[in-house]
A and B are shown apart, each in its own frame.
Chain A
Amino acid sequence: MLNKCIYIIIIILLSMDINAQDVEGTIVYNRKTDWISIMSRLPFMTQEEIDRNRLTWGKRSGRGRNYNLYLKGNKSVYTYGENESESGWSWKSEEYVLVRDHKSKKATDAREFLGKKYVIKDEMPKYKWKILNEIKEIEGYLCMKAETKDPIKGQTIHAWFTDGINFFGGPEGFSGLPGMILEIVVNESDVVISATSIDFEQADVKLPIPKKMKGKEIDFAVFDNKVKDFIDQSIEGERNPFWRIRY
């Protein structure tokens, strides 16, 4: 019993150690995409086509792509992390930097959509989270499960968040839960963005905010409309929209 009490006290002290100061550090997330699963959801696909794709490509899986979430003070920046290609071949990535000020609740995103660059300046998006009764451990943190929906892309999104990190943010611009989101799962397995390393030991984190963001300035509503139009048009033409746009 005494052991348990000591254990509890240690947990408390540890958690206070984190909470007692401003969170400053970097979380590396790995983002994996299951193309077979995404393709299987497209309304024009027949079961035979789905099976054929799974048969041919189902055994191939990529290593995913790394993203970093930098935290300092009330601000966070989410963008590409280090992705060393083993083949030594470089592809140009789309513009993708999400800057969040959690104090003023402002978002400033540099994004690219169908080859065009946009700067989104708006309030941070508000998500309606349902809290579920599941827990699991991610990188040493015990996480709870929450659920929200993306009506634009028709996705059910599950977030695993921990109250062990006192920063109410997460990857891909998700936020609003009482803790840090360490994993995002889109539509069961279509996309899994999972923390692979969490480092709060860094002395001075530099937020990689671009000095100048190029692109047309718009807000989330306009951006979401563009996404929706493209998805609708692609599906009407029986093409997978997600080859072209971020899932």
Chain B
Amino acid sequence: MVAETLLSKIINSVERHMKKVFISLLMVMFTHLVYSQSTFNVKGVIEDTLGNPLIYSTVLLLDTDSTMVDFTRSELDGSFRFKGVSSGEYLVKTTFVGFIPLHSKVNSRGGKDVDLGILKMSELAAELMEIVIKAAKAQIKMRGDTIEYDVSTFKVPDGSTVEDLIRKLPGMEVDQDGAMRSDGKDVTEVTVDGKSFFGNNPKAATQNLPSESISKVQVFDRKTEEEEITGSTAQSQEKTMNLELKEDFKTGGFGRVVAGVGTEDRKELKGNFNRFNEKIQFSLVGVGNNTGRNGLSWDDYQDFLGSQSFNFDSNLEYGFGGGGNKFFFFSGGSNSLESSIQSVFFQGRQNSGFPENYNGGANFNYDHNKLKISSVYYYNQAGLVSTTETDRDRFFPNFVQNEEGSNQKDDISRGHRGEFTIESELDSLHSIKFEFNAAAIDQEKIYNGENDLFRNSIYQSRGVVNNVNLQSGYLGNSALIFRKKFKKKGRRIGMNISYLFTHLNDDRDQKSLTTFFDENGVEESRLDLNQFNANVGDKKVFKANAIFVEPLSKKFFFQTFANHSQRRETGEREVLDRKENSDIVNEFLTRTSINNIDMNRVGASMRYSHNGVNITTGLAYQQFELSGSYSSINESLFSGEIDRGFNNVIPHLAVNYTPGRNMYLSMGYTRTANEPQIQDLQPVIDNANPLFITEGNPDLTPQVGNDINAYMSRSFPASGIRISLNGRFTLFDNYIGRSESIDDQGITSYKPINIEDGNQGNIWFSVNLPIIQNKFTTRWNLSTNVSDLPAQVNGVMNNTKVVTLNPRLTISYTPTKDFLLSLNGFYRNSNTSYDINSSQDQTVINKGFELEFNTKLVGGIYLASRLNYNKFTNDRFGQDLSVPILNASIYRQFLKGNKGELRLAIYDAFDENVSLQQGTYGNGISQSLTNALGRYVMLSFTYNIKGLQSGVNKRRGFH
């Protein structure tokens, strides 16, 4: 049967070929009629070395530069024929599976036909075929008689030498002592990249070089000098081996130093160094300055953390999924105990006061063969000396309280942070990751201030405060994360547990003297406070989370998750009243507390996902259990226990739609429920600050936020137009606000309460509109914020409505690579109205512009300049302040490859720098004016081992 079908197939094939031959014959005859003068025919027969015809082998007719002109296949007798070939020089290349391709030169002058006769093709060595091509999947390259292949495709264990590799190669033998033979001939010389480095000992290279550094092994006959010159092809009995090193393109590195000195005693020094290759990334960074510029950019951040720069999967609390997290943000630049290295890296950019900052660290990443290790250490120290004048009005149903103050601060904080991560891909379906972070901080804050209180412009009291605060603490945080995928695509499980502990000591030396005056300005009474307040807090948090994802079909995905967390906090506060001769324990304020917060959440969601549409709906059930105890050192004064439980249902909806690559739409609804702070539940009065007395509220329930958001973006890449619109609105249930009351002496009492409702929202709109692509572009931007948040003031409900409008227009003009002019104008109007006292409605305006001008001057000198103009107005404090800040620098690059740069810069040329903060809050309005570093001139030198690029136009983002 089989033979029969085979036979019929062969016959069929022959028939088809006959047809082909016939048609081509006709065509050839036709073409001959037309081009008989300038064409010729080529023929030949292909056989193996034993004289068997190689049937149906592919024959290529190539130009002398190997460009294919025509192709055909050999017939059953191994013969082939090209007809109607234009006269000239050609190569005929014959190929057959398992044979070495053969090249034959064809040259016809005057249209004479060429018969190549019998072309004998020799077989590829069977081991080349089996071991090199099939098993190692290497591609082989033929250069005349020599055959080359990429030996890096041969798998040898990590750390193997070239010798271990050569043992695996077909045709090679290696003795026990390392002597090599190729095709039975001794290898007497080893060169690396054609150069003889190892003298007469060929083993020195093969036994010492790591196998992974080699891309090719070439073995050829060793020729004597005479043979080289005469070109004698006498068979040599010795062989030379050349090892070709892998192209080193995957190693790289950076290194930069910037040093500057300026007037007004300003200095800056910054350096970084970085080396990396395929497996290892190592970097160092260090910065010190007193200029208020942290000096570290996104580039420095990436150079420092390398492949770990954007690893933000440390949010271990699983949820509904469903995307929406298109962007990532860094939280603050705070230097508190739980701040991450990523967030403190950019810390230290102040435009107020006189800063002095030192940062630095080392990072090491290893990533190879499914194992990833990264470790990083970072130190940062931030110092700031500042003087601030504040002005604050608070509105009450029938009076206004005005507070005028000034203070001096001298703060310094230091933090050491280390992070270690190890991640291993156990196999293609399982991976495990362990993280450990440690941190230690200490801070010293000195505060000296005075403030005067007025009630409806009548002088009420004067306070003088001198506080010293020392804080120190440490943190340890570890997490174990396990991920499992299943054979079924899309089904997966994620599980993690984490444990965090912190310990914080906070000592406060508090001195204040408050003098109260009667209506006639006569001193009525004095309150003298001199306390030492020592707090010790410990926190332990255990979390366990799990998620399971199951694809129900190609379009539907089911996801379920569970989150559990336990927080245990203990706090001890000791307060000593400092008297002239001795310290007395303040029994009312000295207290201990234990707070336990347990959270359990289970939820599930379903996602429809098809053709650019993703819809996620989900529901979760959340349970908080708050328990604890509090007690004065003298339990008979007060002590108590808290035991509250809260349950919430959390619905979730998210819709995303991408109709095409240039459009994105999304909208969603989600609910959040935030448990009250446990301290707010303790019904204890705290009068540590006698002018601001706080009291807990045991009846508090969680604040629930109903959050609606929508996002739209549309781009037109051909014209460069891009439009985006983003909106968010939150409606609160049981908003946790505060009840605030103030007595005749100006003493304020606060208590947290639940209030029926409140809301806040914002809309952000922007259009990028190029007038001339790449040369003249505009960007239009409008953002608005609205909020309507309630609070209780002296027993009366007050809703404070704030509407902020912030249009912005940026125009950039870059006619050439060496010229940039950009103008960014903005206007910010904030309108606040108060229910309880509509006569106090406020408008706060901040407007201004940024003008940037960069250009190339003569002699390779560049100019960079920026003028920031800010104008602040508000009627309340009669504020009308203009702050123009001009920074300008000229610089020139020099040294080979532009590795050096010398820069002369002037900062705040008009010497007008101040920092003004103004705004409205709750039932009040405030402004504060802080001194800032003024005019100085700085000369700086940069050395960059990679060379610098001049240019005035900054590219941003990813390339």
Q: Which residues of A contact B (CB under 8 A)?
A: 1, 4-5, 7-8, 11-13, 15-17, 19-21, 39, 42, 44-49, 51-60, 84-86, 88-92, 94, 112, 114-115, 128-137, 142, 144-146, 163-164, 177-179, 230, 233, 236-240, 244
Binds A, one of B31-39, B134-142, B409-417, B749-757: B134-142
Q: A112-B660, A131-B93 are in contact. Are A54 and B250 (CB under 8 A)?
A: yes
Contact A92 B661 (CB under 8 A): yes
Binds A, one of B61-69, B518-526, B635-643, B740-748: B61-69
Closest to A39 in B: B959
B727 to chain A, nearest CB (A): 23
CB pairs A–B below 8 angstroms (20 shown): A11-B98, A15-B56, A16-B10, A19-B56, A48-B254, A55-B307, A56-B307, A57-B307, A88-B557, A92-B661, A115-B717, A130-B65, A130-B67, A133-B101, A144-B101, A164-B97, A177-B68, A178-B73, A230-B718, A237-B773
Digit string of B735-776 for contact with A (CB within 8 Å is 1, else 0)? 000000000000000000000000000000000000001100
Contact B549 A88 (CB under 8 A): yes
Interface residues on B, range: 35 or more
Q: A114-B717, A115-B661 are in contact. Are A45 and B252 (CB under 8 A)?
A: no
B551-577 contacts to A, CB under 8 A, are 551, 554, 557
Determine if B281 is an interface residue (Cβ-Cβ < 8 Å): yes
Contact A86 B959 (CB under 8 A): no
Instruction: Collect the chain A residues with CB atoms within 8 Å of residue B122's CB.
Output: none
Instruction: Tell me which of B95, B252, B310, B959 contacts A51 (CB under 8 A).
Output: B252
Contact A114 B662 (CB under 8 A): yes
Q: A94-B661, A145-B139 are in contact. Are A129 and B67 (CB under 8 A)?
A: yes
B110-146 contacts to A, CB under 8 A, are 123, 133-134, 137-143
Instruction: Collect the chain B residues with CB atoms within 8 Å of residue A60's CB.
Output: 307
In the complex, the 6 A-B pairs of residues with the closest C-beta atoms, listed nearest first: A92-B612, A136-B139, A237-B774, A88-B557, A51-B252, A178-B71
Instruction: Tell me which of A12, A230, A244 contacts B55 (CB under 8 A).
Output: A12
Instruction: Collect the chain B residues with CB atoms within 8 Å of residue A112's CB.
Output: 660-661
Among the interface residues A92, A112, A144, which one has the most CB atoms of the partner chain B within 10 A? A92
Determine if B904 is an interface residue (Cβ-Cβ < 8 Å): no
Instruction: Tell me which of A20, A42, A163 contacts B58 (CB under 8 A).
Output: A163
Task: A134 to B143: give the CA distance in the assembly, Å.
Answer: 9
Contact B718 A114 (CB under 8 A): yes
Contact B97 A90 (CB under 8 A): no
Contact B13 A59 (CB under 8 A): no
Closest to B140 in A: A135
Instruction: Collect the chain B residues with CB atoms within 8 Å of residue A15's CB.
Output: 56, 97
Instruction: Tell me which of B13, B133, B253, B610 contacts A142 (CB under 8 A).
Output: B133
Task: A114 to B719: give the CA distance in the assembly, Å.
Answer: 10
Determine if B306 is an interface residue (Cβ-Cβ < 8 Å): yes
Closest to A135 in B: B140
Q: How many A-B residue pairs have CB under 8 A?
A: 191
Task: A88 to B605: give the CA distance in the assembly, Å.
Answer: 13
Contact B774 A236 (CB under 8 A): yes
Digit string of B273-310 for contact with A (CB within 8 Å is 1, else 0)? 01010000100000000000000000100110011011
Q: A1-B50, A54-B250, A142-B133 are in contact. Are A17 and B660 (CB under 8 A)?
A: no
B244 to chain A, nearest CB (A): 16
Contact A20 B252 (CB under 8 A): no
Contact A115 B660 (CB under 8 A): yes
Contact A130 B959 (CB under 8 A): no
Task: A246 to B388: give the CA distance in the assembly, Å.
Answer: 57
Q: A56-B302, A233-B774 are in contact. Are A130 and B97 (CB under 8 A)?
A: no
Determine if B658 is an interface residue (Cβ-Cβ < 8 Å): yes
Task: A94 to B613: give the CA distance in the assembly, Å.
Answer: 14
Contact A55 B276 (CB under 8 A): yes
Contact A47 B13 (CB under 8 A): no
Determine if B12 is an interface residue (Cβ-Cβ < 8 Å): yes
Contact A146 B68 (CB under 8 A): yes
Contact B52 A238 (CB under 8 A): no
Task: A12 to B485: give the CA distance in the assembly, Å.
Answer: 44
Task: A60 to B557: give the CA distance in the assembly, Å.
Answer: 26
Besides A11-B98, A239-B959, 4 more A-B contacts (Cβ < 8 Å) are A56-B306, A59-B367, A94-B661, A134-B139
Closest to A20 in B: B9
Contact A115 B716 (CB under 8 A): yes
Contact A88 B607 (CB under 8 A): yes
Closest to B298 in A: A52
Contact B143 A133 (CB under 8 A): yes
Determine if B487 is an interface residue (Cβ-Cβ < 8 Å): no
Q: A5-B52, A49-B959 are in contact. Are A90 and B65 (CB under 8 A)?
A: no
Task: A221 to B403: give the CA distance in the assembly, Å.
Answer: 75
Among the interface residues A17, A49, A135, A136, which one has the most CB atoms of the partner chain B within 10 A? A135
Instruction: Tell me which of B48, B323, B554 contacts A84 (CB under 8 A).
Output: B554
Q: A42-B959, A53-B959, A163-B95 are in contact. Are A92 and B611 (CB under 8 A)?
A: yes
Closest to B148 in A: A134
Determine if B614 is an interface residue (Cβ-Cβ < 8 Å): yes
Instruction: Collect the chain A residues with CB atoms within 8 Å of residue B12's CB.
Output: 20
A30 to chain B, nearest CB (A): 15
Closest to B372 in A: A59
Instruction: Collect the chain A residues with CB atoms within 8 Å of residue B611's CB.
Output: 90, 92
Task: A1 to B525: give the CA distance in the assembly, Å.
Answer: 119
Contact A55 B959 (CB under 8 A): no
Determine if B858 is an interface residue (Cβ-Cβ < 8 Å): no
B1-39 contacts to A, CB under 8 A, are 6, 9-10, 12-13
Contact B307 A90 (CB under 8 A): no
Instruction: Collect the chain A residues with CB atoms within 8 Å of residue B659's CB.
Output: 92
Instruction: Collect the chain B residues with CB atoms within 8 Å of residue A46's CB.
Output: 946-947, 949
Instruction: Tell me which of A8, A19, A136, A244 contacts B133 (CB under 8 A).
Output: A136
Closest to A13 in B: B6
Determine if B779 is an interface residue (Cβ-Cβ < 8 Å): no
Contact A52 B717 (CB under 8 A): no
Among the interface residues B143, B660, B662, which one has the most CB atoms of the partner chain A within 10 A? B660
Instruction: Tell me which of B250, B274, B489, B958 contacts A86 (CB under 8 A).
Output: B489
Q: A45-B959, A137-B137 are in contact. Are A16 and B302 (CB under 8 A)?
A: no
Contact A131 B549 (CB under 8 A): no
Contact B492 A86 (CB under 8 A): yes
Q: A12-B56, A20-B12 are in contact. Are A51 and B254 (CB under 8 A)?
A: yes
Task: A177 to B70: give the CA distance in the assembly, Å.
Answer: 9
Instruction: Collect the chain B residues with CB atoms within 8 Å of residue A57's CB.
Output: 307
Instruction: Collect the chain A residues with CB atoms within 8 Å of residue B958's CB.
Output: 53, 240
Task: A247 to B492: give the CA distance in the assembly, Å.
Answer: 33
Closest to B322 in A: A89
Contact B953 A238 (CB under 8 A): yes
B720 to chain A, nearest CB (A): 8
Task: A81 to B755: give the CA distance in the assembly, Å.
Answer: 56
Contact A88 B490 (CB under 8 A): yes
Contact B774 A137 (CB under 8 A): no
Contact A134 B773 (CB under 8 A): no
Q: A11-B98, A55-B303 are in contact. Are A88 and B609 (CB under 8 A)?
A: yes
Determine if B60 is an interface residue (Cβ-Cβ < 8 Å): yes
Among the interface residues B97, B140, B492, which one has the most CB atoms of the partner chain A within 10 A? B97
B700-719 contacts to A, CB under 8 A, are 715-718
Contact B62 A47 (CB under 8 A): no
Instruction: Collect the chain A residues with CB atoms within 8 Å of residue B944's CB.
Output: 48
B182 to chain A, nearest CB (A): 21
B295-350 contacts to A, CB under 8 A, are 299, 302-303, 306-307, 309-310, 323
Task: A48 to B899: give the CA distance in the assembly, Å.
Answer: 12
Determine if B896 is an interface residue (Cβ-Cβ < 8 Å): no
A192 to chain B, nearest CB (A): 13
Instruction: Collect the chain A residues with CB atoms within 8 Å of residue B959's CB.
Output: 39, 42, 45, 49, 53, 239-240
Task: A86 to B550: give the CA distance in the assembly, Å.
Answer: 10
B167 to chain A, nearest CB (A): 23
Instruction: Collect the chain A residues with CB atoms within 8 Å of residue B254's CB.
Output: 48, 51-52
B94 to chain A, nearest CB (A): 11
Among the interface residues A44, A91, A131, A164, which one has the most CB atoms of the partner chain B within 10 A? A131
